[in-house]
Each structure stands twice: as structure tokens, then as C-alpha cells.
């Protein structure tokens, strides 16, 4: 048996050497035998792919089942190394990392018209392979990935491929049709008219078998919507809108029952046979799914243990000494054979040695040689210079106004559908009015009312940004997650998303700020001057908008919503305490806090509100016998406490407006600074 295997390996090696000579040298897995994937040097040099090989003709009959002369995706000598943080953060994990070889010297080819499944145990590198193909890798890569003879770039893959992530990221409030329609507006070229978009959406709904749920809400954890399998179909449908040449799917069947999983994979096989290149990762395909596959790749420890047609699997593994027991699913058997058993040291060593041998055998096999010949042939046949086509394709995006309007509409519909959230947006701030009034009552004109007025002012300038914070934390994170995903797909920029959110929340903040200010102002009996009232309304609106935009800025920096919440609350409290001068006069504060007060919005809004509230008021003197100084007019109070409030009124309004613009800039900058995480 071994003699035969060795002869085969020798024959395969010499054939491959001839073919690979054109690309460079590969190191065999046997040569780099290792007990762990950590810190393994990647030894490889790549030359320019050149012309075809006559040997490739031998391969064609072996690879039948593929569509000849169709574009193929080739992975040549590809390795992927990531930095893995070690230890806990308190031990400096942020600064200490080690290299981890996630994909090791892969050489694979995928053909248009085929459905390929990547299988292997958990951690074998399936998702990482899809990540690098789609241009989402976060580590260092070596080797070449080419499509249709051209080396793949991020922009090219963005144009040519679509990636269905493991988790469905959909807005639960939208219907299936709305979800697909908004995505179509974001993805399809600007020349698509609304009627074209409707047609496209309808055809995807039909193709994905979603017609019976087209008008149903997607639903989430609280409100029940479409089923898990239907959600997966929607996610796939979203990616099919732009008619990608390559469709990548990470665990599309995870969490689905056997029947739904079978139907889903059947749909993917149909898509592939209609002329798409489909690659999916899957944990343990059942035998009915196994039969639907055109090709199967088994990965283990980032290396290739097998790549070929399903009917080649059993004969191949039998020749290397692993026959498939009768009545067993070959896929289950060979995934088990290529798994590393880490239960005990002995079992780990034994299984590691076995998997290394299997990978080395595949590297030396006729199958691998055939793949390399196929790649060589593909490169020579499809090496077309379609740069112009790519340039044209890169302009194939919708216009900015269309994207902006679509995002705005989607945010509004999402919010409107959630009745309690929608009402809360209008009423949360006005709800504070009864509580403030319960404590402070109706204002009079005696000396005590001066303190009460200051109390109302303090409450209003603190509560408005706080409600902005609460709204931001409630509505923003789900939209942010969607943004991270869509931004990675290149659908729109950070500035577009943040500006759309800014405009989306503005009308709500205008209405609820005006309701709050009007109710509080007239019921509490504040200064009955109409200009003062207008200024109070304006300040309440601006503060609520400031609070919400500041919150989303912090959410751009801290991905943890709880942390963002606490940080923003701290900023607002500190700003109100230090800069308003309502709890402690500025002169009595340490110099550093006095300076800090100048950068806080509360300094300027307090001056506006105090100036407006006290100007023109008369107070009665009823403090005789208590030794307090009597303040007879509002002007006297302003002069004593906020001497420049009236003089700086216009300047303070301009500065408050500038804060609103600056927070928008801050939000965009913090999002850009932090970048979008790669979601899975």
C-alpha cells in the first residue's frame, strides 16, 4: 500500500514541479511539519503567472462537471497570518501579540457554474478563507488570488463578489420586500429607475422562494417574524441583487433544520448552475446536501486535505489508506479523519501526525497537480486585460442623493414601525415636565423664585441632552451594526451615514424639544416675554440634538454601547456642573475648571437662558429679618452673576450652533479613527 502511495506521490511531485516552476516554489506540508500553527514561517516566492501548459489537457477529462472557458477563481500559494493577542488586557495584551498562521500555502481553484463547499472542523480556516477571498482579511497575506486571470484587488472583489455573513444583519421592523428594496437602492447603479428596482426585487423574491412572506416583517427577538431559514434566504437575496459573479456564504445552513438546509443548498446549487461561482462554508453536510455539491474542499489547520468532486472523495481517501465504511456519509468520515483530537496529549499527537500526513499526501496527489494545471490553463486562457471594464464597473454605483435619501427613509420607516420607540422619541423629554414641576411648582416673583428659576434652568439644560443620550443609545447601535456591514461592502461612506442619522433625528428633536419647552415654560410661569420663550425653545431643541449627536460620536469610538452610554453621561454631567455656574460660581472654581468650562456647551446655553429668563423681571423683597440681600430686578441678578449674558447673546447662539456642526464633524472623525470592524 505504502509503496503505491510513495510512487504516486513521487509521480505527482515531479509533474507539479514542472507546472509550479512558472509560479515559484511551494514548500510541502511535510517539509514544514509542525505541531502547532503558531509562528510558522511562510516560505514561498511567487513569479508572474505565465502561459499555459500542454499537461493541462490531461486534466480536463478529470475535472469534467465544470464549465469550460468560464471564469475561475484561483488561489495560488496562499498563506494568511494574523496577530493574536495573548493574555488579559491588564497584563498588556494590547501590546503583546504572537503571529498565527491561519491559512497555510493553499492552492485551489473554483469554477463558475459550480457550488463548492468548504468543510472542516471548527477553527480549520473556512471563514478565514472566505474573508481573504472577499478582501476582508485583517492580517498579512502572501500568495495570489486571481479571478478570470486578473489578480484580485479589494475593489475588484467588491464589484465581482458578494458575501453572506454567518449572522443575518437585518432590520427587524422592515418587511422582506422593503429590506430588499432599500438594499437595491443602495446597490444598483443610478440609472436603475424605481420600476426597474421593483422588478429586480420581485425577481430575487421569486428566486429565493420568499413570495409567501414578501410583505411580512422580518422580526427579531421580541416580535416574531419570518423563520430562520427565510432570514438566511433574505440575506442571500440581498447579496444577489447586484448579480454578483461570485457568491460567498459563511455557514448558510447554520441553525436550520435538515429540510430547510437542504432546500437552501438546492437553491445555491441552482444559482451556481445558472452561471455563478458559489463557495460556502458548512460544518457537517448531511448526505443529501453532499449530493448537491459540485466540489468539496476539506480544510484542517489551515491546510488543504482534499479538493475535488464528491465522487472523487472516497476513491482518493481509499488510496491513501482511509476507506469509507459502508453506509456512512463520506463527508462525516473524512472530516473526522482530518480533525485534531485535543482531549489528551497522546491523542493530540496522534491526530496531528495523521492530519499532517493527509495534507502532505494531498499536496503530492494527482488531484492537487490537476488543480495546478487547471490554474495554469485558466490563467493562460482568461488573462484578459479588462481594466476598462473594471473602471466602468467602479462607476456603477447609485448617486449620493439616492443613497442618502434611501438611508434616511430606511431609518424613518424602521423607527415608525416600532410604536413605543416612535412615541418615546416625541414624548420622553416632555414627560420630564411634570416631574420638574412637582418639585419646583409654579414660579412667583419673590426672592425664593430666583433660586427656583435657577433650578428650572439647571434641570432643563441637563435633561435635554440626557434624553438625546437615551434616544441615541436606544436607536443607534442597531443602525451602526448595519452600517459596519454595508460600509465594508462599499455601499456608502461614514460621512453619508452619520449625516443621514443627524438629519433623521433632527425633526424628532425639534418637535419633542418644542413640546417640552412650551409645556415647562408656560405651566411653570417663566418669563412671559415671547422672545425669551422662543430662545428657551431653541436652546432645548439644540441641546437635545447635541446630546444625541454627541452620543453617536462616542458610539463611533466605543463599540460597547454600555461604555458609550456611561462616558457620554459623564461628559454631560461634568459639562453641566463645571460650565453652567448654576451650582457653583465660576470664580470659586479652580482655574483649570474655569478654563475647562470654556469648551463646554453648557457655559453658552446657560448664559442664553439666564439672560432671557431674568431680563425684564421684577422681584419683591421679602427677606427682611433674614439678613439676605434683596435682588429687586432680573437685570440686577444678571449683572451680579452673568454680567455678559445679554451682551453675548448673539455670540452664544452662534457658538451653540457651531457646537452642533462640530459634533457632526466629531462623529464622522471618531468613526473614521476607529474604523469599521469586520463582522461575521
Query: Which positions lie near ligand ATP, rule CB under 6 A?
Result: 82, 84, 100, 102, 120, 122-128, 138-139, 281, 283
Strands annotated E in 28-182: 72-85, 97-111, 115-119, 140-147, 150-151, 161-164
Identify the helix (H) or strand (E) that includes residue 665: helix 649-674
Instruction: State the nearest-atom distance from the C-beta of 426 to ligand ATP, in Å.
Output: 43
Q: What is the DSSP letter of 338?
A: T
Supply 218's cell numbers: 422580518
Measured from the CB atom, the residue of 102 and 600 that comes closer to ligand ATP is: 102
Instruction: State the nearest-atom distance from the C-beta of 120 to ligand ATP, in Å.
Output: 6
Measured from the CB atom, the residue of 137 and 512 that comes closer to ligand ATP is: 137
Residues 6+ apart with CB under 8 A from 7: none
Distance CA(607)–CA(611), nearest Å, equals 6
- Closest-CA residue to 10 (of 376, 361, 320, 372): 361
Instruction: State the nearest-atom distance from the C-beta of 131 to ligand ATP, in Å.
Output: 7
Instruction: State the nearest-atom distance from the C-beta of 33 to ligand ATP, in Å.
Output: 19
Distance CA(180)–CA(247), nearest Å, equals 17
Question: Sign of the CA dihedral 487, 493, 496, 498?
Answer: positive
Q: Which residues of 472-492 are buried (b: 16+ CB within 10 A; e: fewer)?
A: bbbbbbbbbebbbbbbbbbbb
Measured from the CB atom, the residue of 102 and 609 that comes closer to ligand ATP is: 102
Measured from the CB atom, the residue of 163 and 476 that comes closer to ligand ATP is: 163
Measured from the CB atom, the residue of 123 and 525 that comes closer to ligand ATP is: 123
Measured from the CB atom, the residue of 94 and 438 that comes closer to ligand ATP is: 94
Residues 6+ apart with CB under 8 A from 345: none
Question: Sign of the CA dihedral 135, 141, 145, 150?
Answer: positive
- CA distances from residue 80 to 102, 155, 301 in whole angstroms, order as listed: 6, 20, 12
Measured from the CB atom, the residue of 166 and 380 that comes closer to ligand ATP is: 166
Instruction: State the nearest-atom distance from the C-beta of 351 to ligand ATP, in Å.
Output: 16
Measured from the CB atom, the residue of 139 and 611 that comes closer to ligand ATP is: 139
User: Is-contact 141 315, C-beta < 8 A?
Assistant: no
Measured from the CB atom, the residue of 82 and 413 that comes closer to ligand ATP is: 82
Q: Which residues of 635-650 are buried (b: 16+ CB within 10 A; e: fewer)?
A: eebbeebbeebbebbe
User: Is-contact 466 545, C-beta < 8 A?
Assistant: no
Measured from the CB atom, the residue of 118 and 517 that comes closer to ligand ATP is: 118
Q: What angle do CA 38, 39, 44 make, to 5 degrees?
A: 115
Instruction: State the nearest-atom distance from the C-beta of 279 to ligand ATP, in Å.
Output: 13
Residue 157: CB atoms within 10 A of its CB come to 23
Instruction: State the nearest-atom distance from the C-beta of 293 to ligand ATP, in Å.
Output: 17
Pairing state of beta strands 303-308 and 161-164?
Answer: unpaired
Distance CA(675)–CA(557), nearest Å, equals 9
Instruction: State the nearest-atom distance from the C-beta of 97 to ligand ATP, in Å.
Output: 9
- Closest-CA residue to 163 (of 264, 278, 76): 278
Measured from the CB atom, the residue of 251 and 489 that comes closer to ligand ATP is: 251
Instruction: State the nearest-atom distance from the C-beta of 331 to ligand ATP, in Å.
Output: 14
User: Is-contact 452 533, C-beta < 8 A?
Assistant: no
553: left (phi over 0), alpha (psi -120 to 50) or beta: alpha
Measured from the CB atom, the residue of 28 and 339 that comes closer to ligand ATP is: 339
Measured from the CB atom, the residue of 586 and 678 that comes closer to ligand ATP is: 678
Instruction: State the nearest-atom distance from the C-beta of 260 to ligand ATP, in Å.
Output: 19
- In what order do the strands lie in the sheet containing 72-85? 97-111, 72-85, 140-147, 150-151
Q: How far from the centroid of its chain's Cα atoms is residue 173's Cα?
A: 19
Q: Which residues of 48-65 are buried (b: 16+ CB within 10 A; e: fewer)?
A: ebeebbebbeebeebbee
Instruction: State the nearest-atom distance from the C-beta of 276 to ligand ATP, in Å.
Output: 22
Distance CA(651)–CA(169), nearest Å, equals 45
- In what order do the strands lie in the sheet containing 246-250? 161-164, 246-250, 277-281, 115-119, 295-300, 303-308
Instruction: State the nearest-atom distance from the C-beta of 129 to ligand ATP, in Å.
Output: 7
Instruction: State the nearest-atom distance from the C-beta of 641 to ligand ATP, in Å.
Output: 57
Instruction: State the nearest-atom distance from the C-beta of 69 to ligand ATP, in Å.
Output: 32
Map residue 240 onto helix, strand or coil.
helix
Distance CA(8)–CA(587), nearest Å, equals 89
Measured from the CB atom, the residue of 79 and 181 that comes closer to ligand ATP is: 79
Question: Sign of the CA dihedral 607, 613, 619, 623?
Answer: negative
Instruction: State the nearest-atom distance from the C-beta of 338 to ligand ATP, in Å.
Output: 12
Instruction: State the nearest-atom distance from the C-beta of 121 to ligand ATP, in Å.
Output: 7
Measured from the CB atom, the residue of 106 and 218 that comes closer to ligand ATP is: 106
Measured from the CB atom, the residue of 143 and 581 that comes closer to ligand ATP is: 143
- Closest-CA residue to 464 (of 516, 412, 409): 516
Q: Can you give the length of the chain in residues?
A: 680
Instruction: State the nearest-atom distance from the C-beta of 285 to ligand ATP, in Å.
Output: 13
Identify the helix (H) or strand (E) that includes residue 506: helix 494-524
Measured from the CB atom, the residue of 99 and 273 that comes closer to ligand ATP is: 99
Amino acid at each position: 500500500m505504502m509503496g503505491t502511495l510513495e510512487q504516486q506521490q513521487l509521480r505527482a511531485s515531479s509533474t507539479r514541479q514542472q507546472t509550479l516552476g512558472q509560479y515559484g516554489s511551494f514548500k510541502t506540508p511535510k517539509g514544514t511539519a509542525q505541531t502547532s500553527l503558531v509562528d510558522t514561517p511562510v516560505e514561498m516566492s511567487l513569479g508572474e503567472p505565465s502561459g499555459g501548459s500542454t499537461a493541462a489537457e490531461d486534466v480536463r477529462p478529470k475535472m469534467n462537471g465544470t464549465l469550460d472557458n468560464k471564469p475561475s477563481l484561483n488561489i495560488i500559494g496562499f498563506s494568511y497570518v494574523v496577530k493574536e493577542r495573548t493574555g488579559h488586557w491588564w497584563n498588556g495584551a494590547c501590546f503583546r501579540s504572537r503571529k498565527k498562521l491561519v491559512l497555510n500555502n493553499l492552492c485551489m481553484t473554483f469554477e463558475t457554474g459550480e457550488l463548492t463547499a468548504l468543510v472542516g472542523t471548527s477553527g480549520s480556516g473556512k471563514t478565514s478563507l472566505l474573508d481573504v477571498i472577499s478582501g476582508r482579511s485583517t492580517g498579512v497575506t502572501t500568495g495570489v488570488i486571481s479571478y478570470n486571470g486578473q489578480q484580485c484587488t479589494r475593489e475588484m472583489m467588491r464589484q465581482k463578489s458578494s458575501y453572506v455573513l454567518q449572522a443575518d444583519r437585518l432590520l427587524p421592523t422592515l418587511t422582506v420586500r422593503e429590506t430588499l428594496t432599500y438594499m437595491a437602492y443602495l446597490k444598483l447603479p443610478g440609472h436603475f429607475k424605481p420600476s426597474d428596482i421593483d422588478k429586480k426585487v420581485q425577481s430575487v423574491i421569486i428566486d429565493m422562494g420568499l413570495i409567501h412572506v414578501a410583505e411580512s416583517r422580518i422580526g427579531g427577538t421580541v416580535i416574531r417574524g419570518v423563520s430562520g431559514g427565510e432570514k438566511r434566504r433574505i440575506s442571500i437575496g440581498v447579496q444577489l441583487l447586484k448579480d454578483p459573479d461570485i457568491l460567498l456564504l459563511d455557514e448558510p445552513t447554520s441553525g436550520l433544520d435538515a429540510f430547510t438546509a437542504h432546500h437552501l443548498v438546492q437553491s445555491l446549487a441552482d444559482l451556481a448552475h445558472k452561471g455563478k461561482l458559489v463557495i460556502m462554508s458548512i460544518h457537517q453536510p448531511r448526505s443529501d446536501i453532499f449530493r448537491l455539491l459540485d466540489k468539496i474542499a476539506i480544510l484542517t489547520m489551515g491546510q488543504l486535505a482534499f479538493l475535488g468532486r464528491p465522487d472523487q472523495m472516497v476513491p482518493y481517501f481509499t488510496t491513501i489508506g482511509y476507506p469509507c465504511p459502508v453506509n456512512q456519509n463520506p463527508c462525516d468520515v473524512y472530516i473526522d479523519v482530518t480533525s485534531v483530537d485535543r482531549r489528551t496529549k497522546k491523542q493530540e499527537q496522534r491526530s496531528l501526525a495523521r492530519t499532517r500526513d493527509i495534507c502532505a499526501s494531498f499536496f503530492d496527489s494527482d488531484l492537487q497537480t490537476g488543480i495546478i494545471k487547471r490554474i495554469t490553463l485558466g490563467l493562460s486562457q482568461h488573462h484578459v486585460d479588462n481594466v476598462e471594464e473594471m473602471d466602468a464597473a467602479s462607476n456603477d454605483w447609485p448617486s449620493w442623493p439616492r443613497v442618502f435619501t434611501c438611508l434616511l427613509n430606511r431609518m424613518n420607516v424602521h423607527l415608525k414601525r416600532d410604536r413605543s420607540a416612535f412615541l418615546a422619541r416625541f414624548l420622553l423629554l416632555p414627560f420630564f415636565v411634570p416631574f420638574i414641576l412637582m418639585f419646583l411648582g409654579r414660579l412667583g416673583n419673590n426672592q425664593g423664585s430666583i433660586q427656583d428659576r435657577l433650578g428650572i434652568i439647571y434641570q432643563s439644560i441637563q435633561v435635554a441632552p440626557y434624553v438625546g443620550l437615551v434616544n441615541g443609545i436606544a436607536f443607534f447601535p442597531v443602525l451602526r451594526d448595519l452600517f459596519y456591514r454595508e460600509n465594508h461592502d462599499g455601499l456608502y461612506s461614514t460621512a453619508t451615514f452619520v449625516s443621514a442619522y443627524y438629519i433623521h433625528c433632527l425633526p424628532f428633536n425639534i418637535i419633542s424639544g418644542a413640546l417640552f419647552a412650551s409645556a415647562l415654560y408656560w405651566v411653570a410661569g417663566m418669563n412671559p416675554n415671547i422672545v425669551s420663550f422662543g430662545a428657551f425653545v431653541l436652546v432645548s431643541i439644540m441641546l437635545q440634538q447635541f446630546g444625541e449627536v454627541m452620543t453617536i460620536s462616542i458610539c463611533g469610538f466605543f463599540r460597547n454601547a454600555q461604555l458609550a452610554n456611561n462616558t457620554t453621561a459623564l461628559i454631560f454631567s461634568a459639562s453641566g456642573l463645571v460650565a453652567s455656574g448654576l451650582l457653583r460660581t465660576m470664580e470659586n472654581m479652580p482655574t483649570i475648571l474655569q478654563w475647562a468650562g470654556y469648551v463646554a456647551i453648557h457655559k453658552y446655553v446657560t448664559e442664553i437662558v439666564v439672560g432671557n429668563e431674568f431680563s425684564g423681571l421684577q422681584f419683591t423683597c421679602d427677606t427682611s429679618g433674614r439678613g439676605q440681600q434683596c435682588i429687586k430686578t432680573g437685570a440686577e441678578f444678571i449683572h451680579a452673576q452673568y454680567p455678559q449674558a445679554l451682551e453675548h447673546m448673539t455670540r452664544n447662539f452662534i457658538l451653540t450652533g457651531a457646537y452642533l456642526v462640530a459634533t457632526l464633524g466629531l462623529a464622522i472623525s471618531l468613526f473614521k479613527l476607529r474604523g469599521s470592524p469586520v463582522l461575521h
